[in-house]
Each structure stands twice: as structure tokens, then as C-alpha cells.
Amino acid sequence: MTTKPYTPLASYAELKRIEEAINKAKTVDQLRDIMVKDGPKIGYKAFCYMFGGKMTPEAMKPDEACVAAVVLEQEGKGDEAKELYKKVIEAHPEHPIAKTKV
């Protein structure tokens, strides 16, 4: 039986925001606050994947991450865009957009 990859309902931007909040948290209480506030918004499964380092927003939402990278390119932030494309390629080596950009 093949399983479909997990894709949360939250947008890439929302996942990225929460990933950054998790990374900035310095105490268990801060992490609990993030989980209580944002867990229902992105889904507890997505929260657990990010918290455990098992999945990144780029892995969960590769197409939206590529759109964000295109915007960065348009803003003249080519290095940041390239890093984003690389994160997509890490999770999805054959992604058609990211593959052409890296």
C-alpha cells in the first residue's frame, strides 16, 4: 500500500513563521505557548514534524516555497532564493522548478 505524502492545510508562509518561532523559543513554556496558539492553525501533525526536525515547511509545501523564492529573486535577493530552492531540492530532488534553479 502506498501512502500519500503529508501536506498540511496551512500555507507555506504560516508554516515558516511557526518554524521560526519554534527555533527562537528558549524555554519549554515558550514552546507550549506556540503549540497551544498555533498547533490548531497548522495541525498538530505538522507542528510535531517541524518540532522534531523531521520535516520542513519546504518539504511540506514545495510549490509554495518556490513561489516565495521567485518573489525573493524579484526583490533582488538571489542568494536567499537559492537557499530556499536548495531546501526544496533536499526534500524533493526532482522538483521541476527548484531543479532548474539550483
Render pLDDT for 45-63 as a digit per residue (tens, 0 to 9): 999 999 998 999 999 999 9
Render pLDDT for 61-97 as a digit per residue (tens, 0 to 9): 999 999 999 999 999 999 999 999 999 999 999 999 9
What's the confidence (pLDDT) of residue 3?
53
What's the confidence (pLDDT) of residue 7?
75
CA distances from 64 to 14, 26, 30, 50, 95 (A): 11, 29, 28, 17, 12
Render pLDDT for 9-39 as a digit per residue (tens, 0 to 9): 899 999 999 999 999 999 999 999 999 999 9
Dist CA 89 CA 93 (whole Å): 4
Does the structure show a pLDDT above 70 at 4?
A: no
